Structure 1
Amino acid sequence: MLGLAAGSGGLFTHRPEFGRAPTGERLARIQASPHYKNGQFQCLEPVENIMDDDENRFVAMYKFLFGDKSEISPQQTMLSRKTDLKALDVNENIIVWMGHSTFYLQLGGRRILTDPVFSNYASPLFFINKAFPGSNVYTAADMPDIDVLVLSHDHWDHLDYPTIMSLKPKIREIVCPLGVGEYFEQWGFALKQLHEEDWFSEVKLADDFSVHVLPSQHFSGRFLQRNATEWASFAFVTRNHRVFFSGDGGYGAHFKDIGRRFGKFDLAIMENGQYNERWHRIHLMPKETVQAAEDIGAKTVISAHSGKFALARHAWNAPYRALVEESRGRSYEVITPQIGELAYIGANGHNFDHWWEKMK
């Protein structure tokens, strides 16, 4: 019986969505990285333990799975305004939030998609991390051709196998941190599509368009092995605009360094959700989100990493309330579009309402 269980478990974890360990030339590149030490990637500011106390992980998981969930998920369907992406003029510089960390951008005549998850679960198991009702208004069929897919790291709520495979015919190029390319190669993408780089690397896709792979303070892993692949934030740079995408990660000196390197950003897509004081070193608390936005020189800020999955114990609408409150008197403008609602990059005086106040 134990042998049967072990065999079944082995078959389960060998499903393609779990990925495989990097080997060969990719592994050699990983091992040569200054950010890879003692057999794993490490943050610029070492984070030895992601938790700030000694609570048993199994106890924490039990609370997450079976604790009170009356406030961590909305009681009604998420509000949304579905924009027809295929009808947009590609030369308009716009952003559309699709829930959690999935954003569709048009910048400098290119179509960019970040961390796409169109599945109903951010997990290999159907009963864990279910999407909020109404948060999945987009599918791969709604997407135009994607010039650049940007993937921040390999966690299930960012790298979603069914979504990637459904988008595969539409994806032209992929930018990701070291090691993450192994997933895409296993899933049948051509090596020539992959731009898999270490932190502080510029991926120059055209004379007037670059994607910079930058640090974040986080971790990686889809099952038992941790930090075999890298995690990252990104800067999208054209002749006229700069956009920052934080990915996941805690607060650190890297934000001020990014601000010094790039000057100002027209828009910052900032992690703001799934936080907890116990793991603030690898996820931004709201006060840290606004400080990081000022550190990088953001002119406009949009919230990411919330509105779709409940991965932490805070109320589902707490990130929006906190971001608005903490941003009072700051040097940037906060924009709060609903899922699917279009916003213009580089524009001033946006007038989005506080849609979460209309929901329970």
Structure 2
Amino acid sequence: MKRFLRILKRTMIILLCLIGILLISTCCFLRQPQFGALPKGARLESVKKSPNYKDGRFRNMVEKPTIAEGYSVWSEIYKTLFKDYPRLEPIDSLPSIKTNLKAIPPDSDVVVWFGHSSFFLQVDGVKILVDPVFSGNASPLPGGSKAYKGSDIYTVQDMPEIDYMLLSHDHYDHLDYETAKALQSKVKHVICGLGAGAHYERWGYEEQQILEKDWVDKVKVKPGFAIYTESTHHESGRGFKRGQSLWLSFFIESPAMNIYYSGDGGYSDRFIKIAEKFGNVDWAIMECGQYNKAWQSVHGLPEEVAIATTELKAKNLLPVHHSKFKLAKHPWDEPLGQISVLSQSKPYRLATPMIGEVIHLNDSTQIFEQWWKDIN
């Protein structure tokens, strides 16, 4: 019996030591710069003053469980580990176009999509870059999601000088450390949610470059041109502590046209409110991908995207958040196929460009191919 107790004691000591080593290693790993920083000091005090920051974190307008009724976290983990899902990523290389962004005439109003939620927008001479991820990775963790073949042809070096870089939220598939750090010298201003400036500050951005905003805030660009930071229903966080920076959507109001970017987020009545507040929406750039009925509170389904675009009274729809990373369990091309079917007979026009293809925002006759249909 004594021998058994000695062995048990020794085993427990070894186990506790291993747990301690694992915890220390994890803490050291999370201290690497790619994980960013939490707000502190004056920034944290500013965060705490927000009406959207309650009980130690930012909150959605209406609180909903992330996992929908009838589903559970454990069942979703089990499915991820043990269930096979077909066609989660393409076998073939995706077609793309390498546009010289620096040669686009300054008087051209265009969008160039880079896959997932990254895109370049030029309107009324203002150059805007949104949620850029050019490292080929959607996560800093080993074994994380890698960009599909052919979807990662653009680099920081391809970007022109940027007037405003917009960040919808700080998840890794929208805020990439390598990309953000390399862009610092090219970007005049970053517009991000309260608290998210801590990441940029750690990565070498100057205080005057960072514009941290709450919901229903406004950045005056020039006469007749403003960028509004609006709400969405989502989440944030790059480590164990969640909800320490605010997630955003953007309404870009310019003399040339009005553009709405949804950021990530589940369906709610906010689209009706955006239409009531701003009126005319020429282009809606909407999250449409990486969804699942289990977590549709934070990522809208294609049918909800079609409804939301109609509620916005948008003239044109550009669906994003697809065709680059495997982050959900639907076939990689399902978002494009579904939204194409759902958009038939709708009052808006659907744009489905290839990666890198120039969308001429004022050309209502531009034709877009269903480029994904013949790809394995």
Q: TM-score, normalised by structure 2?
A: 0.92
Instruction: Give the counterpart of 1:184 among 200, 204, 209.
Output: 200
Is 2:123–2:256's contact at 8 Å kept on the other side of the alignment? no
Residue 208 of structure 1 deviates from its aligned partner by: 3.2
**1:325-358, Cα deviation, whole Å (9 max, x unpaired):** 1111111000110000001113212211100102
**Which residue of 1 is the match for residue 8 of structure 2?**
none
**Which residue of 2 is the match for residue 12 of structure 1?**
29
Cα distance in 1 between the residues matched to 2:191 and 2:219:
8
Tell me if 1:217 matches 2:233.
Answer: yes
Identity within the alignment, %: 39
Q: TM-score, normalised by structure 1?
A: 0.96
CA RMSD in angstroms comes to 1.4
Instruction: Give the counterpart of 1:34 among 32, 51, 74.
Output: 51
Is 1:51–1:278's contact at 8 Å kept on the other side of the alignment? yes
Instruction: Give the counterpart of 1:317 among 330, 333, 344.
Output: 333
Residue 9 of structure 1 deviates from its aligned partner by: 1.3
Residue 55 of structure 1 deviates from its aligned partner by: 5.1
Q: Secondary structure at the match of 1:75?
A: coil
Tell me if 1:227 matches 2:243.
Answer: yes
Residue 64 of structure 1 deviates from its aligned partner by: 3.1
Q: Secondary structure at the match of 1:168?
A: helix
Tell me if 1:120 matches 2:120.
Answer: no
The gaps in structure 2 that reach 5 residues or longer are 1-16
Task: Count the aligned residue pairs.
Answer: 359
Residue 76 of structure 1 deviates from its aligned partner by: 0.6
Is 1:267–1:346's contact at 8 Å kept on the other side of the alignment? no
Cα distance in 2 between the residues matched to 1:303 and 1:255:
15
**1:271-328, Cα deviation, whole Å (9 max, x unpaired):** 0001111111111111110111111121100111001011110110000011011111
Q: Secondary structure at the match of 1:292?
A: helix
**1:126-166, Cα deviation, whole Å (9 max, x unpaired):** 31111111110100111111111000001010000001111
Cα distance in 1 between the residues matched to 2:355 and 2:93:
12
Cα distance in 1 between the residues matched to 2:182 and 2:78:
33
Cα distance in 2 between the residues matched to 1:223 and 1:60:
21
Instruction: Give the counterpart of 1:326 among 338, 342, 346.
Output: 342
Residue 59 of structure 1 deviates from its aligned partner by: 5.0
Which has the higher Rg, Structure 1 or Structure 2?
2
**Which residue of 2 is the match for residue 71 of structure 1?**
87
The 5 A counterparts of 1:73-88 are 73-88=89-104
Cα distance in 2 between the residues matched to 1:14 and 1:55:
34
**1:19-46, Cα deviation, whole Å (9 max, x unpaired):** 2221122111211111111111111121
Q: Secondary structure at the match of 1:71?
A: coil
Is 2:53–2:59's contact at 8 Å kept on the other side of the alignment? yes
Is 1:266–1:346's contact at 8 Å kept on the other side of the alignment? no
Quick check: 129-138 or 58-67, which moved more? Answer: 58-67
